[in-house]
Amino acid sequence: MKKSLLILFTLLNFIVYSQNQLPNVKLKNLKGELVNSNLDFQKKDVIYVYSFWATWCAPCVQELDAISEVYGDWKQKINIEIIAVSVDDSRTEKRVKPMVNGKGWEYTVLLDTNQEFKRSLSIANVPYTVVVKNNIIVYVQNSHSPGGESEFFDKLKSL
């Protein structure tokens, strides 16, 4: 037990950020078209915000709702595109489209039904946000704080 803990901590100390590029996985969008998670989002200087969420994850929905309110303003101020990656499996996948529309979200939505994209980034829990600019991962956020949108926007502006 002690040994395995020791190994874990040794490992943690050694590891630095090495995943500086987003893996490319083919995922369906809400129209059923295949989209490349990385290759189709590579416009120069655009800030791509990949927000991993699920219909059953209350903080995720709260976060996307809150950003939805200010998304129009953000788009006027910075060159940004939000990609809401749903990790709903086939239990709840069918609720994604009516929920996205019902809530009036204007995000690009990708369906990661068997969690291939989520697994390739070793994401344990949602909400989880990965920000990519010029094909490099520039910021990762692994939680949501209610009302944290303005702090997050300041962060995005600084990138």
Check binding of 157 to another protein (CB under 8 A). Answer: no
Closest approach, Cβ 7 to another protein, in A, equals 6
Closest approach, Cβ 57 to another protein, in A, equals 8
Considering only residues 72, 76, 91, 158, which one is a binding residue for another protein as defined by CB under 8 A? 91
Check binding of 116 to another protein (CB under 8 A). Answer: yes
65 vs 79, beta carbon nearer another protein: 65
Alpha-carbon torsion (142, 100, 134, 18), positive or negative: positive
Alpha-carbon torsion (97, 101, 105, 108), positive or negative: positive
What's the token pair of residue 11? 């490992």
* Interface segment toward another protein; rule CB under 8 A; list 32-40, 45-53, 77-85: 32-40
Q: Which residue has the tokens 């129009």?
A: 72
Cβ within 8 Å of residue 120, ≥6 positions away: 23, 25
Check binding of 158 to another protein (CB under 8 A). Answer: no
Q: What is the DSSP pairing of strand 26-29 with strand 47-53?
A: unpaired
45 vs 104, beta carbon nearer another protein: 104
